[in-house]
């Protein structure tokens, strides 16, 4: 059973960290104690809070693209245009059965509703596989201010490995979600590749664009002072492409490339939010943009989201594609080993678009 106010008292911030991070209660456990004020270590610097005046003053919106007829040129054009001008878009009629989406959302709630002793089997310290990690915030040991989010991160190696190590509460649903999304992912990558003069997604391109998959189940519990903190701080993803399933609560904001405004991504039932990640920005020599985004904390509702990060293989060397620089275009990025890039991302706190400097020439 979740601890309650009568059983949990925090004398100082270190006790909160012990309870949330080290004991594996997460911010969900903290929220469920009935805590009335945000603990100090969650208070973000003023400039990192999503203050209302920067939001919703604009009628800008990320494109919503209908994929009912995926072979039509206008679908490919809309995807490539959005990847260049927004780095973000939503897709509807994408062919992934709605039941699969409902099932993975239900499985996410089922996992986070497990008792702490069960979830703690998957913390960094306890997990039997480095490919399965239950955690909180982003990089708690590196962060000056923590983020109001718990997560389960599942790196796919094989069905057998997943069967053995992924939590029973969600493994079948997460695998089905991943498998049933593959056709859509391939199609999106074909559109993006063709526009870069990549003729086909052969084995080499496949391992660069979609050589590894990570699924995260994110849980953002009700927060006592949502204006003082964030669910997720400003960052860009390090993937090639991210496919995000969000529930009906909302809170994801994207930085508009044209105005610099923070633009809300409204939940559209049955849709996916798709975004370009740093790996794709590097491979396309900056043509496609991985854009800063962040998530608000919420004072009245719990929220979940389930991103699939489609990535190069960890051992892939990524740099501007030969097809892109063949015409004499100057490369903006150097070649980097993808796992070095990801390790660099994970070892620091979220810092907006700074990760990509690691690969800049
Ligand atoms: C969590 O909140 C997030 C997450 C995100 C994620 C955005 C993405 O775009 S995720 C896609 C990343 N790409 C991949 O995972 C594919 C390639 N993977 C790899 O190359 C490797 O698996 C590796 C990630 C480099 C890890 O390799 P290795 O060094 O063998 O493994 P570890 O020793 O386990 O990890 C080293 C170090 O990395 C950090 N870390 C690892 N996994 C995670 C994870 N799932 N979540 C958070 N941090 C992770 C961690 O610091 C590890 O050091 P420890 O000392 O703590 O073990 C976007 C926004 C978010 O808020
Ligand atoms: O929860 C969301 O809407 C976005 C989460 C996110 O940006 C991430 O996990 O990388
Ligand atoms: Fe993200």
Distance 171 CA to ligand 2 centre (A): 20
List, as ranges, residues with CB under 5 A of the ion ligand 3: 237
CA–CA distance from 213 to each of 126, 132, 177, 227, 253 (Å)? 22, 13, 12, 33, 24
Whole-number percent of the chain with pLDDT over 70: 95
Is 62-359 CATH 2.60.120.330?
yes
Please identify which residue in the block is written with the tokens 């519990």. 221
Q: Assess whether the C-beta atom of 309 lies below 6 angstroms from ligand 1.
A: yes
How many Cα atoms are found within 13 Å in the side-chain-facing hemisphere of 186? 14
Stated pTM of the model: 0.96
C-beta of 234 in contact with ligand 2 (< 6 A): no
Closest ligand 2 atom, residue 237 Cα: 10
- Residue-wise pLDDT tens digits, 214-265: 999 999 999 999 999 999 999 999 999 999 999 999 999 999 999 999 999 9
Per-residue pLDDT of 121-178, as tens digits, reads: 999 999 999 999 999 999 999 999 999 999 999 999 999 999 999 999 999 999 999 9
Q: How many CA atoms lie within 13 A of 91 on its CB side?
A: 27
Contacts of 254 (CB under 8 A, 6+ apart): 62, 86, 87, 88, 262, 263, 265, 275, 291, 292, 293
Pocket test for ligand 1, best of 125, 153, 346 (most atoms within 8 A of CB): 346
DSSP code string of 42-72: G---GGGS--GGGBSSS-----EEE-SSTTS
Q: What is the DSSP string of 30-45?
A: HHHTT--S--GGG---
Is residue 293 within 6 Å of ligand 2 at its C-beta?
A: yes
User: 153 alpha carbon to ligand 1 midpoint, in Å?
Assistant: 9
User: Two tokens at 268?
Assistant: 């559209």
153 lines ligand 2 (CB under 6 A): no
Instruction: Specify the range with the lowest mean pLDDT, choosing from 44-48, 190-194, 201-205.
Output: 44-48
CA-proximal residue: ligand 1, atom 17 (nearest): 314
**Residue 245, ligand 2, Cβ within 6 A:** no
* Helix or strand run (H / E) with residue 258: none
**Given pLDDT bands bounded at 50, 70 and 90, which one contains residue 7?**
low
Query: Could you identify the atom of ligand 1 that is nearest to the CA of residue 151?
Result: 1
pLDDT of residue 52: 52
């Amino acid at each position: 059973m979740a601890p309650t106010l009568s059983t949990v008292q925090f004398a100082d911030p270190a006790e909160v960290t012990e309870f949330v991070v080290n004991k594996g209660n997460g911010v969900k456990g903290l929220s469920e104690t009935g805590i009335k004020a945000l603990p100090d270590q969650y208070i973000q610097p003023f400039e990192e809070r999503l203050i209302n005046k920067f939001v919703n003053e604009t009628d800008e919106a990320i494109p919503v693209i209908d994929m009912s007829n995926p072979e039509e040129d206008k679908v490919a054009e809309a995807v490539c245009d959005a990847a260049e001008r927004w780095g973000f878009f939503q897709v509807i009629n994408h062919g992934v059965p709605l039941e699969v989406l409902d099932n993975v959302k239900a499985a996410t709630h089922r996992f986070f509703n497990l008792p702490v002793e069960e979830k703690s089997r998957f913390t960094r310290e306890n997990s039997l596989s480095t490919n399965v990690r239950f955690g909180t915030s982003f990089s708690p040991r590196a962060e000056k201010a923590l983020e109001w989010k718990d997560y389960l991160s599942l790196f796919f190696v094989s069905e057998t490995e997943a069967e053995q190590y992924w939590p029973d509460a969600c493994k079948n649903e997460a695998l089905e979600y991943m498998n049933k999304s593959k056709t859509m992912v391939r199609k999106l990558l074909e559109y993006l590749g063709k526009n870069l003069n990549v003729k086909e997604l052969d084995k080499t391109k496949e391992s660069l664009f979609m050589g590894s998959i990570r699924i995260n189940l994110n849980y953002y519990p009700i927060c006592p002072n949502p204006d003082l903190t964030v669910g997720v701080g400003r960052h860009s993803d390090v993937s090639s492409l991210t496919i995000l399933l969000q529930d009906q609560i909302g809170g994801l904001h994207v930085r508009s490339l044209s105005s610099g405004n923070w633009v809300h991504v409204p939940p559209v039932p049955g849709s996916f939010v798709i975004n370009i990640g740093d790996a794709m920005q590097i491979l396309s020599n900056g043509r496609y943009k991985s854009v800063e985004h962040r998530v608000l904390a919420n004072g009245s509702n719990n929220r979940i989201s389930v991103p699939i990060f489609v990535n190069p293989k960890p051992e892939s060397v990524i740099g501007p594609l030969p097809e892109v620089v063949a015409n004499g275009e100057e490369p903006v990025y150097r070649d980097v080993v993808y796992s070095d890039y990801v390790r660099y991302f994970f070892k620091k706190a979220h810092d907006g678009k700074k990760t990509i400097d690691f690969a800049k020439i």
